[in-house]
Structure 1
Amino acid sequence: MVPQELAAIVERQGRNRGCIILPIFYMVDPRDVRHQSGPYRNAFRQHEQNVDEETIRIWKDALNKVGALKGWHVKSNDEQGAIADLVTGVVWSHLTKNNNVLEIDKLIGIDDHVEAVKESMALDSPCMKIVGIYGMGGIGKTTIAKAVYNNVSAQFDRCSFVENVREMLEQKDGVITLQKHIVSNILMVNIAESIVNNSEGIRAIRDRVSRFKFLVVLDDVDETFEFEKILGNMENFVSGSRFIFTSRNIKVLSMLADDIKLYRVQEMSHQHSLQLFCNYAFKKDIPPSNYETLSNDIVSVAAGLPLTLKVVGSLLFQEEEEIWRDKLKQLKEIPEQKVVDRLKISYDTLNEEAKRIFLDIACFFVGEDKEIAFYMWSDLGFFPTTNINILNQRSMIGIVVAGSRKKLIFQMHDQLRDIGREIVRQENRRHPWKTSRIWSKEKALNVLLNKKRYNNFEILKNLNMEELGTISKECFMNLSELRYLDINVSVLIDDFGDYIPNLRWLRLRNGPSDNFNVENLVILEVSSFSCTRVDSGGLKQIKV
């Protein structure tokens, strides 16, 4: 660059402070530029013979100012491609710094989540850190990750936010697609053609990305995501960089790194839920007085799930009160389809035994003792130790300590419970007696008394036959697949074991029974008596 061009650039910056000078000292020492020493001394001696004194002074001032700026010192052994990446990226980062903001959905109370995640990120630490955000589908993980990204991205040299990683990896050449996306975002240039396989992608990340202090957010990762296969060795990344991952599965996140910081997104409070719902249903924070009760009832059904609040609120915007009442009634029975589709993603990835355990809990065992149900599932070959752990890791169930006896009981978000029941309903919506599970007292009683010619039922609960007094074995003649029976009855007469050979768990809520023999029974609960586990070692008492 000739001196007059440099002087013009410096003069323009003096008039417009928005201009930025990013010097590249190519094969020259910045100190020589600043002090006009070395090769510059001889050059100026020649210029002084032909150029006036004021112009020389302006040129020297310009060189002095530029020589004092922070830039890049390119030596003879530096790779020109690497310098080009560096300079191009920094130029673009300055040009796009104020536009590097993601659009996010409304989420009331999001500031508390952002601060908690930022604390886990330890932004002041010089070490490389990984943070995982987890929780059930629709709980707001992506929205929180975007809000954190917007809040802290200015503190990093480069940033990349990739949504729907799970879906991307399911596609053909998904790993390569993800690598291209990350590298192109960090370098701020499209390098799609230079990455043709997995190894090329890892090499590009190692050689061209890892030198930056960056923020990378990968949204919705699952078991298909392998850190080293996609990003390479974690030790390659420079100090100060940060990864944020979101997932439904805490185990997926825990396996990414031993020192990963985990943050669980909990359900919204009723107050925040009501405000979020009103933002979509009324475009304001509080409901009109004539919709206050209806709004609170709908918010209660949503049970703190932002996805449901947004979907239902949007559907009810500017609708009449009668539509609201109908929607509330529907939601109590059947969740909104968009919510079902989102939450069902977790269910669809389960193995067959885990699905059956999930449906059992959703339909019958929320609030029930984990230990007792465990015996039935174990005897049926459902591998409950492994599969209960899988459901818990994926935020599909919870296990809490309850009561003075410190029993472990199952918990489940109301929306997930309703999704499980909807899956069972869809087994045969026109003929509910053909489904595998019935939890309605009326429907269960109808099936038993009318002796429907179907043997699909695996579980019948809440059978209240107290008024009938006794039940004959013929009531069970078409229930050969029944494995759990919860019944309120004074007396069971006859030996009905031949009709329900697969029964593992019998719960009698109104006293003992005589004359029954079920060969494969594992659990017998009788009224307020102890629960007896039957196995090859004899009878064992389990306090309930």
Structure 2
Amino acid sequence: MGLPTSDEIRKQEILKTFMDEVKTDTMLILEFSALHREIFVSFPVVHTEFLLPWLFVHAASKDGLLKKRIRELNEVCDDCDFLASSHRPSSYDVFINFRGADTRENFVALLYDALSSAGIHAFIDSEELWEGEEICPSLLRAIRGSKMSIPVFSEHYADSKYCLLELAEIWERHLSDGQTILPVFIDVEPRDVRHQSGSFEGSFKKHKKKCKSGEVQRWKDALKEVGNLKGWPLKGDSSIQEQLTVVKLIVQNSLRELDIAPLDVCRYPVGIDSHVENLISLLNIDSNDVRFVAICGMGGLGKTTIAKAVYNEIYRSFNGNSSFLPNVKEVNNNLVSLQKRLLQDIFKKGHDITSVSSGSNLIKKMLDKAKVLLILDDVDDHEQLDVLAGGLDWFGEGSRIIITTRDLHILNVHENKVYGVIHIYEPEVLNFENSLQLFSWHAFSENEPPESYKKLSHKVVHLAEGLPLTLEVLGSCLIDKDKEEWKDTLRRLKGILEDKVCEKSIKSYEDKVIAKLMISYNKLGDPEKAIFLDVACHFIGRKVEEAISIWDACNLHPRLAIKELCQKHLLKIDDFGILSMHDQLRYMGRRIISIDGSRDPTNRSRLWSPDEILKVLKKDKRFQKLKVLILRNSHDLCDSPNFFAWFPKYLSDEFSQKSLSQQLQVTLQVADIHW
């Protein structure tokens, strides 16, 4: 190593003085030592951009002498050719712009610590670094070198011309280089930021008197534009837990924007943490065994989101040997492409695979000694598992294979093939508290609804029954809607989830929620479809054995069909043998019948609404396709002389009136009418 230059000697002297002046603060010394061990060895050149953010959050920001030493060190670093030194960080991930007196000791400290814990290199601005009317070079470099900025607007933010100078620079950086801006609004309304009203109004009256008009206009333009961006509102008296909730959302978005997390989870990961904890416990990644774990449940439950969150949490433990294969079922006709993608992800180079069998052999050959993390998302056929993860002996010690699927049967089949246990995790729907929070984030961009919308929000959340996809879709549908529009949407939603299948639909709900649930239905065979529709229309709340007696008479082989429906999470049977299903599934089944019948009750295969049954009977029309009809408390209809004329003609031709009447008397005692 050559002799130090005069600049380096001066910096070392300042650093030595700095350390002498803070040595009485044990915590400061320990923390400083942990972050900058090299200082204590030989005091090499250390750029203060790496030091100052930590200092102003954790120590001695009120000590004038320390501030003086920091400024001296900063000036030296700005003036010398040290800027090209390899010790200098090339850039920051995040620049935090805030009014120190308002937020330093609470929200900003929490945010900085959370960003650091997530591996995000954040720069914390501080007014103590300012001198004169211009941004000092180190702050300018920090803003321009950051990939994104987080302005934290607070009540007295606009009092600080330094905050405004920085914000103007941040906005220019956004315009020139596309820097991402994620604003936070603490005890201020975004409209006050945009229009310099409220607590910002008095500050700008003072600035107009003291500052150049061009500069003030530049600040106002920046406030107007940044105030229009979507951000996170927070009350000044928010609890630590409420602040941490917002901090967590900001960190998640920062990871996504910075592409630090390999997988995009979701904007509002409400309720995900508990699932991640449960799965990490089930995965037991410290164990050297090869383990298959499956996340199994109905559509819209968030299985893929949970799998992505787990992947982001543990992928570093596999030294780059990890692969996430999304939407496996969508690529079922080209399994070779999935095999190529798997090997590409792990070995970072392409492989020539000419057939599925050769691909399976290659995967086993190349991975049987490697510790890998493999996630197979949305599997709907056991063949997909056979060719991508055919056995425990395909992978090296410590490997973890995570599968997401709606179908428990697929897992049972594969478990027999791999000669090992597949650990099953079945996530529950969200509880009311988490449901309300997730809905509120999508509808209001806040973690709870405004007081004036609380009752309406509670009603929507109750109808969603904890299904994350439904909450997300309905929340997004209601953004910027007034109360009357909310009430109209609520009426429609309540109508379509109850018996009123002809109720006007909510397009986004149909397109996203029902379309996703239909995927499982479309995979069913005819007997399973028939039984699913029967339950959706008639047998919820009835005993399964009673229904089985009817389905047996119809040659539907119900026990096999019921097992498949339960495995696909389309049907539930409780401990008392009572049939049930999620309200969204019930609506889907009834919607299928309604659409198949072209909205004409006489053309439907199943009728459950008393109003619609009576409507058909009063019009003296014949049921064209009827298979199931609910006639609870309507036994006297059998005595009507025209009763059998209402039913499909083939039934009248096949049975005598007497034999059909006798059959009805028996059937009505069990469960209505079924052909």
Q: Please report the TM-score for the alignment, with normalisation by the length of structure 2.
A: 0.56
Structure-2 separation of matches of 1:134 and 1:232: 19
Structure 1 residues 469 and 399, CA, compared in 2 at 3 Å: closer, same or farther?
closer
C-alpha displacement of 1:480: 3.7
Mark the runs of 5 or more structure 1 residues left unpaired by the alignment. Answer: 1-13, 20-96, 403-407, 484-495, 504-515, 533-544
C-alpha displacement of 1:17: 11
C-alpha displacement of 1:321: 1.7
Residue 329 of structure 1 is aligned with which of 477, 480, 491?
A: 491
Moved more, 110-119 or 451-460: 451-460
After superposition, residues 188-203 of structure 1 pair within 5 angstroms as 188-191=348-351, 194-203=352-361
Q: 2:342 maps to which residue?
A: 182
After superposition, residues 81-120 of structure 1 pair within 5 angstroms as 99-105=260-266, 106-120=268-282
Matched-pair contact (CA < 8 Å) for 2:597–2:605 = no
Matched-pair contact (CA < 8 Å) for 1:132–1:245 = yes
Structure-2 separation of matches of 1:341 and 1:395: 16
Mark the runs of 5 or more structure 2 residues left unpaired by the alignment. Answer: 1-84, 91-257, 497-504
Structure-2 separation of matches of 1:104 and 1:200: 33
1:466-499 C-alpha deviation (Å, 9 max, x unpaired): 9x8984131331214899xxxxxxxxxxxx9735
Residue 300 of structure 1 is aligned with which of 462, 479, 491?
A: 462
Residue 451 of structure 1 is aligned with which of 614, 617, 620?
A: 620
Residue 379 of structure 2: SS of its match in structure 1? coil
C-alpha displacement of 1:399: 0.5
Residue 295 of structure 2: SS of its match in structure 1? strand
Q: 1:346 maps to which residue?
A: 520
Identity, % of aligned positions: 36
Q: Which amino acid aligns with 1:384?
A: P
Structure 1 residues 98 and 162, CA, compared in 2 at 3 Å: closer, same or farther?
same
Q: 2:399 maps to which residue?
A: 241
After superposition, residues 117-266 of structure 1 pair within 5 angstroms as 117-157=279-319, 158-169=321-332, 171=333, 174-191=334-351, 194-257=352-415, 258-266=420-428
Moved more, 101-110 or 392-401: 101-110
Flag the structure with higher helix content: 2
Structure-2 separation of matches of 1:500 and 1:449: 24
Matched-pair contact (CA < 8 Å) for 2:622–2:648 = no
Q: Which amino acid aligns with 1:345?
A: I
Q: 2:568 maps to which residue?
A: 394
Structure-2 separation of matches of 1:259 and 1:368: 34
Structure 1 residues 340 and 178, CA, compared in 2 at 3 Å: closer, same or farther?
same
Structure-1 separation of matches of 2:628 and 2:283: 47
Matched-pair contact (CA < 8 Å) for 1:187–1:209 = no
C-alpha displacement of 1:311: 0.8
Flag the structure with higher strand content: 1
Residue 574 of structure 2: SS of its match in structure 1? strand
Structure-2 separation of matches of 1:470 and 1:142: 52
Structure 1 residues 500 and 478, CA, compared in 2 at 3 Å: closer, same or farther?
farther
Residue 279 of structure 2: SS of its match in structure 1? helix
Q: 1:410 maps to which residue?
A: 579
C-alpha displacement of 1:401: 2.2
Q: Which amino acid aligns with 2:462?
A: S
Q: Which amino acid aligns with 1:343?
A: L
Structure-1 separation of matches of 2:281 and 2:411: 18
Q: Is 1:525 aligned to residue 669 of structure 2? A: yes
Structure 1 residues 480 and 149, CA, compared in 2 at 3 Å: closer, same or farther?
same
Matched-pair contact (CA < 8 Å) for 2:344–2:350 = yes
Q: 1:473 maps to which residue?
A: 641
Q: 1:439 maps to which residue?
A: 608
Residue 262 of structure 2: SS of its match in structure 1? coil
Matched-pair contact (CA < 8 Å) for 2:328–2:384 = no
Matched-pair contact (CA < 8 Å) for 1:120–1:131 = yes
Residue 262 of structure 1: SS of its match in structure 2? strand
Structure-2 separation of matches of 1:349 and 1:199: 25
C-alpha displacement of 1:233: 4.3
Matched-pair contact (CA < 8 Å) for 1:130–1:244 = yes
1:67-113 C-alpha deviation (Å, 9 max, x unpaired): xxxxxxxxxxxxxxxxxxxxxxxxxxxxxx98352111233211110
Structure 1 residues 482 and 127, CA, compared in 2 at 3 Å: closer, same or farther?
farther
C-alpha displacement of 1:195: 1.4
Structure 1 residues 469 and 425, CA, compared in 2 at 3 Å: closer, same or farther?
closer
Residue 451 of structure 1: SS of its match in structure 2? coil
Residue 133 of structure 1: SS of its match in structure 2? strand
Structure-2 separation of matches of 1:367 and 1:476: 29
Structure 1 residues 323 and 471, CA, compared in 2 at 3 Å: closer, same or farther?
farther
Q: Is 1:424 aligned to residue 584 of structure 2? A: no
Q: 1:507 maps to which residue?
A: none
Structure 1 residues 500 and 356, CA, compared in 2 at 3 Å: closer, same or farther?
farther
Residue 220 of structure 1: SS of its match in structure 2? strand
Q: Which amino acid aligns with 1:478?
A: W
Q: 1:75 maps to which residue?
A: none
Q: Which has the higher contact order (CA 8 A, sep 6+)?
A: 1
Moved more, 347-356 or 194-203: 194-203
C-alpha displacement of 1:524: 4.7
Q: How many residues align?
A: 402
Residue 245 of structure 1: SS of its match in structure 2? strand
C-alpha displacement of 1:454: 2.9
Cα RMSD after superposing both structures: 2.9
Structure 1 residues 296 and 498, CA, compared in 2 at 3 Å: closer, same or farther?
farther
Matched-pair contact (CA < 8 Å) for 1:186–1:209 = no
